[in-house]
Amino acid sequence: MIGHFGENDLQETDRKMVRAEVKLATFRVGSALYAIDILRIKEIIRPIKVTSVPNSPPYIEGVVNLRGAVIPVIDLRKRFVVATTVDGRLTRIVICLVFRRLFALVVDEVVEVRSYVREELHPPPKFFQGQETDIFLGVAHRADDLLMILDLERFLSLSRMVDFIPPSGMLDDRSAISLS
């Protein structure tokens, strides 16, 4: 029948839609390296004026007005409890789209954007358990370093920036990283 898919057809379609290669944007917070899927990033900008928001968690710097959009700003140094850097010349704001909303992440430095094949991505170590460590999708190797790949949906939900996980039909268009 035209337009009718069985369960096996949908599973096969899902497998074909998983990207063979993933582009990750790598950034530094303190001495650690983190990465997010480049498809999540709308732009990377130099720091701009942030307006503070009363009664917000300490890691919420406030909001910025970027071309008419009011965007909440999360300082990852404060969120990950990392000492503030002395030299902020490399500090950047990474504008991300999650749950069809824009969020800004303050990072110490954007290091690179690089493609990784699926075999280079690994699940997070087994000792990473609990609410605060569930924010990582996995790890990847970069020279002698390990990149912690952030799960932005979980990270923002646990940061109380997003207090719900929308039904699957509401997620923004993207090809999510899946390590399974």
Spatial CA neighbour of 102 closest among 131, 79, 70, 129: 70
Task: Assign domain 22-170 one CATH number from 2.30.30.140, 2.40.50.180, 1.10.10.10, 3.90.1150.10.
Answer: 2.40.50.180
- The model's pTM: 0.76
Confidence of residue 132 (pLDDT cuts 50, 70, 90): low
pLDDT of 167 over the 50 cut: no
For position 160, what pLDDT does the model report?
57
Q: For the range 175-180, what are the long-range contacts, defined as Cβ-Cβ under 8 Å and sequence gap of 24 or more?
A: 175/17, 175/18, 175/19, 175/39, 176/37, 177/22, 177/37, 177/121, 177/137, 177/138, 177/149, 178/18, 179/121, 179/122, 179/123, 179/137, 179/138
| Contact assessment for residue 161 and residue 72, using Cβ atoms and an 8 Å cutoff | yes
Greater pLDDT, 150 or 134: 150
Q: What is the rounded average pLDDT of the residues 51-57?
A: 90
| Contact assessment for residue 33 and residue 140, using Cβ atoms and an 8 Å cutoff | no
Q: What is the rounded average pLDDT of the residues 44-61?
A: 93
User: What residue spans define the domains of the chain?
Assistant: 22-170
